[in-house]
Chains A and B, each alone.
Chain A
Amino acid sequence: MLKLAFKNLFAHPVRTVLTIGALAIAMFLVCFLTSIATALEAGVSSNTVRRLWTRTAVSLFSTMPQNYEQKIESLPEIDQAVKFQWFGGYFREQKNFFAQFAIEPEHLLEVYDELYVVDGSYENFVADRNSAFIGKALADKYEWKVGDTIPLTATIFTKPDQSPWEFEVAAIYEADTPNVDRSTLFFHWDLFEETVKGFAGEAPEVGVYLFKPVEGADLDAVSAQVDALFEGGPMRTLTTTESEFQREFIGMIGNLPRFITFLGTGVFVAILLASINTMLMAAREQTNDVGVLKSLGFSDGRVFGLMLTQGLFLCGIGGGIGIALAKGSESAFRDMLAAQFPGYLVADATVIGAAVLTLAIGLVAGLMPALHARRLSPVAALRATL
């Protein structure tokens, strides 16, 4: 029976191979999109770091005065706040875009204690104001190593002569937690401020203040205290946990997880219809065979099982290839998408979910022709002409 089901499936090899190919691509996409959504969610929900972010209450694009830092640090629950300013440059071409921040190197690791150096020396980064501290994924992508100079073309803080900003790689970092972007370049606030002041005439403001309240402090209470400090301006603030900040950041580009789920559902429905169509065509061609099998003594149940098995074979092969592709390409995509979706991972739950989905498609695709074959009288089946 299994042999017959398998051979029937490949009676029209081109059609079957095309359907299997479509199934493989669809199931790969389902796994890929689910993994993207999972990566987004993991970055947010698994982030249990007790780090608070203070930004303006207006938007992420507005900035705050530098003297907010001292005021924030004046609260007893906060030892050290760190200035962050989005730089927004690119390397050689606009497509080579990644996150760059001007920060205070002396205190970065106090708020980002999950970072660790894998190459170079953090002390050298702190000591050299022209240096940069870059993520491992970024270093791997552009094959940068310690000592290399990275020219960045500014899009916001453009020098009057249009020359690029240049940073020498002092150290490369890695992190064990999925919420940390391994594709960021950090550089000295002092250099940033001095250069901007040089051509703009005034010191730059701050995009975000990051800090870790002391152990045991109530994060909500601290957030409220910080925001209360600036209630009267000049710029009101909004202080949130890091996970909440990330959630808002993702929200800026729309409800991405829902959009991805929508796309995945669309792919699923399309491939379900394609599989049903293939199975119905195959079943129609096998009508006469069904009559022969019944005349040989095959029961309605056996014929039902044969048709259902064909649907399961078809979807199992296609879906299996798709899932294997998704799993096999996991590390390649993790590197490729490190900047946008750090922590990309085809989780076991995703693989199991895709396998269940494959099984469901196979059952549904095989069920209609199987029920038809089961009900078909042998005489009607034998009379059938195609």
Chain B
Amino acid sequence: MSEAMIQARGLTKTYKRGGEELRVLDELDLEVEAGGFYALMGPSGSGKTTLLNLIGGLDDATSGHLVVDGVDVAELTGSELAQWRSDNVGFVFQGFNLIPVLTALENVMLPLGLTPLSKGEQRKQAEYALELVGMTDRMKHRPRQLSGGQEQRVAIARAIATDPKLLLADEPTGDLDRESANSVLELMTKLNSELGKTILMVTHDPLAADYASTQIHLDKGRLAQVSGAATAK
């Protein structure tokens, strides 16, 4: 049996809005195995993106325990958390979020600047990542010169450039047409099956969710249902 990549116990996240407490995640228990491809589904406001942000160390839980790849992220200081993100997590966003003033290659090299690699090694690694996503011929293009599907491919290359174990994707195909979406999903499947990346993907799209081996459904901040092959609990 595979070891757990993510273990959440009693994970709770609340926000104060207009003097009222909003409980976005409510005592959530979840376990995600390393090497799995998970689709995180549920209605708007069910806590999908919040859970993704907590797992990625972008936000703090109000209470509960969250261990990612053996690290209790709540124990890390701000700079340790940043370094941990750089080493272990790759993010893919719905709006691609490429830096508009940089070329595709420069965007992919950005996270590599945080590693001890030399400039030449960074470039080589970024070119390899772009090759993996089939964007070698567009590496000198700026984001505005690329289609949505191409931008998302570059964003995925950036996410995997530092070779993280965990990929967190928030509606990665939300802004894409069907054809581009399928192409991106096939790429993510390939990253999961061939490179062993653990992928947690938030999506509203059942067709996208079908690419994942396991579908996790959230409702009102709680685990509502788990379906598919893997053993999210």
Chain B, residues 104-122, CB within 8 Å of chain A (1/0): the string is 0010001101100000000
Neighbouring B residues of A297 by C-beta, 8 Å: 82-87, 111, 114, 162
Q: Does A378 count as interface, using CB distance less than 8 angstroms?
A: yes
In the complex, the answer to whether A288 meets B53 with C-beta atoms within 8 Å is no
Instruction: For the complex, give the distance between the alpha carbons of A10 and B101 in Å.
Output: 8
Question: What is the chain A residue whose CB lies nearest that of B170?
Answer: A382
Q: A296-B91, A297-B85, A297-B86 are in contact. Are A382 and B79 (CB under 8 A)?
A: no
Neighbouring A residues of B84 by C-beta, 8 Å: 297
- Chain A contact residue count (CB 8 A cutoff): 25
Asked whether, in the complex, the Cβ of B79 is within 8 Å of the Cβ of A299, the reply is yes
A294 CA / B79 CA spacing, docked (Å): 10
Q: Are the CB atoms of A3 and B85 closer together than 8 Å? A: no
Specify which of A1, A8, A10, A294 is in contact with B82 (CB 8 Å cutoff): A294
Contact of A3 among B82, B97, B106, B158 (CB under 8 A): B106
> Cβ of A298: which chain B residues have Cβ within 8 Å of it?
82, 86, 114
Contact A4 B102 (CB under 8 A): yes
- What's the Cα separation between A298 and B53 when bound, in Å? 16
1/0 contact trace for A61-97 toward B, CB 8 Å? Answer: 0000000000000000000000000000000000000
A288 to B56, CA, bound (A): 17
Task: Report the separation of the CA atoms of residues A119 and B117 in the bound assembly, to the nearest whole angstrom.
Answer: 69
User: Would you call A379 and B97 a contact (CB within 8 A)?
Assistant: no
How far is the CB of A304 from the nearest CB of chain B, in Å?
Answer: 12
* Residue A328 interfacial (CB < 8 Å): no
From A4, A294, A302, B99 is in contact (CB under 8 Å) with A4
Cβ-defined contact, A296 with B58, below 8 A:
no
Instruction: Decide if B97 touches A292 in the complex (CB within 8 Å).
Output: yes
- Shortest distance from the beta carbon of B52 to any chain A beta carbon, whole Å: 10
- Interface-central residue, B84, B86, B99, by most chain A CB under 10 Å: B99
Interface string of B65-93 (1 = CB under 8 A from A): 00000000000001100111111000101
Cross-chain contact A11 with B58 (CB below 8 angstroms): no
A329: interface (CB < 8 Å)? no
Contacts of A3 in B (CB 8 A): 106
Q: Is the C-beta of A295 less than 8 angstroms from some C-beta in chain B?
A: yes
In Å, the complex CA distance between A10 and B142 comes to: 14
- A382 vs B168: C-alpha distance when bound (angstroms): 14
Once A3-B106, A378-B58 are accepted as A-B contacts, the answer to whether A295 and B85 lie under 8 Å apart by CB is yes
When chains A and B are docked, how far (Å) is the Cα of A17 from the Cα of B158? 31
Interface residues of B (CB under 8 A from A): 53, 56, 58-59, 78-79, 82-87, 91, 93, 97, 99-102, 106, 110-111, 113-114, 158, 162
Would you list 25 pairs from A and B whose C-beta atoms are within 8 A, ordered by A residue? A1-B113, A4-B99, A4-B101, A4-B106, A4-B110, A11-B100, A11-B101, A288-B97, A289-B99, A291-B97, A295-B56, A295-B91, A296-B85, A296-B91, A296-B114, A297-B83, A297-B86, A297-B114, A301-B79, A378-B59, A379-B53, A379-B58, A379-B59, A382-B58, A382-B93
